[in-house]
Amino acid sequence: MSARIGSVATFRWRARAYLLFGAAVVLAGVGIALRSPAPLFVAIPLFLAPVAAALLGPRSPPVARVAWQVSGTAETVEVAGTARFDTPTDARDVVVQFVVPPGLSERAPPRIDRSLREIRFALHWAASEPIVVPVPAPHIGWQDPAGFVERPVRWESPDLMVERYPAELIHIGAVRLERTIAIPGETLSRRIGSEGEFFGIRLAAPTEPPRRINWRASARVGRLLANEFRVERTGDVLLLIDVRPTALGPSIDGALLSLSLAAAYGIAESFLREKARVGLGLYGEFLDALPLASGRTQRLRIRNALLAARLTTSPGPSERCAIALRRYFPPGVTTILLTSLADEASADLVPFVRRRGFPLVVMSPSPLPLLERASRARDEESDLVGRIARLLRRRRVSATWRDAPVVDWEDYWSVGGLVDLLRRPARVGRGV
Amino acid sequence: MSGPDGAVARWLRPSIPLLAAALLGVAYLSSLALSEGLVLAAVGLAAGVGLRLRGPAGVRAVSPWPPLVALGGLALFLPLGPVPLLAAGFAGVLYVTWLVDDPDRPSGGLRRGALVWAIPAVGVLLAWGGGFLLPASAGSLGAAGALLAVALLALAYLVGRRDLFDRDALAKV
């Protein structure tokens, strides 16, 4: 896991110091102009106080050892940690400021407890929808008692991520995917399990099922021994995300993209855990592709690509995406397309991609819950608009079903429909 | 009484009566009409304290302005003399103590920030002593001398500590 270093700047005057310096200069100037010493006498402490404050505190940037972690489930996000300081830095002089990442909201104000050498903090955030977002680095700085000067604190800590996605995605990796590699025998994983190619023998656990016991070996040794198997790697999956803008507007599009990214992250995590190969495509104006691969490095690549994904301003034609996909991915790879299906352009992507040889499952985050949340008014007219929007949505989803199975993702904390679709045997035959 | 976060304790800071006494004292000693001076001092004090304790988070940053403007305005009308000038200097010091004694700052507090207000207090005493106790009894001379000495001191300190301003580590060839 990569680590980040806080700040390297050593010293800076704060706005309050500039206020006092400025006031001192103005008073001195007025005093000289009016030939009155009284403003000069007021100016003396205003000028001296920031300089005196600069004499306080550590001579070099203080160093903190920060340890923090994210906990909580579903909507609840708890960030807790400590920042420890060595002598002579007094932790009570250190100011810590946190920023709530976009997509999360603050449930309660942050709790910060200070002692002489340690600051303990607890942040209480809420995620209303699935989200994957890095926790912004807090600003940690030493300040003098009056707040005239500040020395940023040097600190190192591992990157922290808030990862909230539907719970069903944790087990989606168990779905058997289709292979796209010529020789299936060469796709063994390093994972040891209860089925697959024979790997070795080990001492049996008390709860071992009888089928797994190697009776001959047990009879020879005199102890119960169980067989171990090397699990065959499952097939490949391509996650294709449509990052083109739609008529819904940037805020709704952004929220839907955030949902798609969270779902893609959860799906990729789950399949990579099962040693499957996962590829990623982000289609805006052009296709940004991460070719199929497995392992931790691919996990990091996918994470970084998803975190960097933004809505494009100039959308490309759907056919371009389908053509570009063939340059990076073999045909036949199971493709999960994450698109809002909010307009014709996003719906057009489905037939184009399917005709290029990619069996598709469309996962479409529905904009309706977001739109209902945005329109606070609860009158007959808005109800009617909502019903029409629902009918239009249903019509578009049913039209898309002609080309590929669609999951209409309305309950953002559940993706049971996607798991069912991927497990359905009919999917195997639905190719080109 | 005190709420969960000690609302009364936030109001009962020792620096507030000190700043009030300083502003009212300067108002009393100034050549302004007593009512005008007292009103100016009271408005500056009330606005500063009120903004700091009750203002929204974004407005609290400007809470140092009103008392400073009131103090500067009153200082323009102070007559020449040992007592008014000493009052002006110590009003400035007490304004700094009020800045140090901020309940929203965990590092704040009169005792913890003693150096921040004690050094200016010594500077004021030096200037006042130099102006009125030495043979050449000119207040301006003392103030100017003190400012010059302090400026030289600060310059020497800042030039001697390049790390205060250098953002990059020094290169060694």
Whether chain A has a CB inside 8 Å of the CB on B146: the answer is yes
The chain B residue lying nearest A41, using CA atoms, is B89
**Any A CB within 8 A of B85 CB:** yes
| pLDDT at residue A109 greater than cutoff 60 | yes
- Which letter does DSSP use for residue A212 in this model? G
Per-window interface: A 282-341 vs B, CB < 8 A: none
pLDDT tens-place string over residues A293-340: 888 899 999 999 999 999 999 899 999 999 999 999 988 888 999 999
**pLDDT reported for residue B1:** 37
Residue A181 domain flag: no
Q: How many CA atoms lie within 13 A of A273 on its CB side?
A: 13
Predicted confidence (pLDDT) at residue B167 exceeds the cutoff of 60: no
Domain that holds residue A43: 11-55
Last residue within a domain, chosen from A161, A176, A208: A161
Pair A322, A345: CB distance under 8 Å: no
DSSP category for residue B1 = -
pLDDT at position A397: 92
Higher-pLDDT residue of A68 and B165 is A68
Distance (Å) from the C-alpha of residue B132 to the closest C-alpha of chain A? 12
What residue type is assigned to position A181 of the chain? I
Is B112 touching A (CB cutoff 8 A)?
Answer: yes
In angstroms, the separation between the Cα of residue A128 and the nearest Cα of chain B is: 26
A366-389 tens-digit pLDDT: 999 888 887 766 677 878 888 898
Q: Are strands A188-193 and A225-232 parallel, antiparallel or unpaired?
A: antiparallel
Structural contact between residues B13 and B103, judged by C-beta atoms closer than 8 angstroms: yes
Give the pLDDT of residue A220: 94
Same domain, A152 and A214: no
Q: Do B107 and A93 touch (CB under 8 A)?
A: yes
Q: B147 and chain A: CB distance < 8 Å anywhere?
A: yes
- pLDDT for res B135: 65
Q: Is B45 on the interface with A (CB under 8 A)?
A: no
Q: Which pair of structure tokens corresponds to residue A392?
A: 């239009």
Q: Which residues of chain B does A35 touch, with a Cβ-Cβ cutoff of 8 Å?
A: 140
Mean pLDDT, rounded, for A185-203: 69
A169 within some domain: no
What are the start-end ranges of the H helices in B30-163? Answer: 34-54, 65-75, 82-100, 114-132, 139-160
Task: Write down the pLDDT at residue A428.
Answer: 45
pLDDT in tens, A147-174: 888 888 888 777 888 988 888 887 787 7
- Residue A123: the pLDDT is 94
Which of A10, A45, A90 shows the shortest C-beta gap to B166? A10
Give the largest Cα separation in chain A, rounded: 110
Binning pLDDT at 50, 70 and 90, where does residue A290 land? very high
Instruction: Please indicate if any CB of chain A lies within 8 Å of the CB of B49.
Output: no
> Of B89, B112, B150, which has the smallest distance from its Cβ to A145's Cβ?
B112
Inter-residue contact A45 to A20 (CB < 8 Å): no
Q: Distance between CA atoms of A44 and A252, rounded to whole angstroms? A: 56
**CA–CA min distance A126, chain B (Å):** 22
Residues A414 and A270 in one domain: yes
CB A337, CB A349: distance < 8 Å: yes
- Nearest of A431, A398, A404 to residue A331 by alpha carbon: A431
pLDDT tens digits, B97-155: 999 988 777 776 778 888 888 888 988 888 887 777 766 655 666 666 666 677 667 66
Which residues from B are below 8 Å from A44, CB to CB?
89, 92, 120, 123-124, 127, 143, 146-147, 150
Q: Where are the alpha helices (DSSP H) in A138-249?
A: 215-221
Closest to A403 in 3D by CA, of A343, A344, A360, A363? A360
Q: How confident is the model at residue B86 (pLDDT cuts 50, 70, 90)?
A: very high
Average pLDDT over residues A132-151: 87
Question: Quick one: pLDDT band at residue A100, thresholds 50, 70, 90?
Answer: very high
Give the pLDDT mean for A173-201: 64
Residues 6+ away with beta carbon under 8 Å from A238 = A278, A279, A280, A281, A292, A325, A329, A333, A334, A335, A336, A358
Average pLDDT, chain A: 85
| Peptide bond connecting A88 to the previous residue in cis, omega within 30 degrees of 0 | yes
CA separation for the pair A276, A293 (Å, rounded)? 8
Instruction: Work out the burial of residue B55: count CB atoms within 10 Å of its CB; fewer than 13 is exposed, 13-18 middle, 19 or more buried.
Output: middle
Asked whether the predicted pLDDT for residue A70 surpasses 70, the reply is yes
When divided into structural domains, chain A yields a total of 4
Residue A73 DSSP one-character state: -
Domain ranges of chain B: 7-162
Task: Give a three-class secondary structure readout of A218-262.
Answer: HHHHCCCEEEEEEEECCCEEEEEEECCCCCCCHHHHHHHHHHHHH
- Binding-face residues of A in 31-50 toward B, CB within 8 A: 31, 34-49
Q: Contact A23/B119, CB-based, under 8 Å? A: no
Q: What is the pLDDT of residues A25-66, one digit of tens each?
A: 999 889 888 888 899 899 999 988 988 888 777 777 788 888
- Give whole-number Cα distances, A422 to A233, A302, A386, A409, in Å: 17, 21, 31, 15
- Based on the fold, state whether residues A49 and A152 are members of the same structural domain: no
Return d(Cα B96, Cα B118) in angstroms, integer. Answer: 10
Averaged pLDDT, A247-274 = 91
Cα separation of B131 and B139, whole Å? 4
Q: Count how many residues are written for chain B.
A: 173
Instruction: State residue A350's pLDDT score.
Output: 93
Q: What phi, psi does A108 have (nearest 5°)?
A: -150, 155
- Using a CB–CB cutoff of 8 Å, tell me whether A110 touches chain B: no
φ, ψ dihedrals at A67, nearest 5°: -130, 125
Q: Which of B71, B150, B154 sits opposite A42 (nearest CB)?
A: B71
Residues of chain A contacting residue B143, judged by C-beta atoms under 8 Å apart: 31, 37, 40-41, 43-44
C-alpha distances in Å from residue A273, one per residue of A188, A295, A330: 14, 8, 22
Indicate whether A181 pLDDT > 50: yes
Asked if A47's CB is within 8 angstroms of B89's CB, the reply is no
Closest C-alpha among A349, A343, A340 to residue A316:
A349
Is residue A256 domain-shared with residue A355, that is, in the same domain? yes
Q: How confident is the model at residue A77 (pLDDT cuts 50, 70, 90)?
A: very high
DSSP A328-387: HS-TT-EEEEE----SHHHHHHHHHHHHTT--EEEEEE-SHHHHHHH----SHHHHHHHH
Q: By CA distance, what is A14's nearest residue in B?
A: B61
Measure the CA–CA gap between A427 and A422, rounded to whole angstroms.
Answer: 7
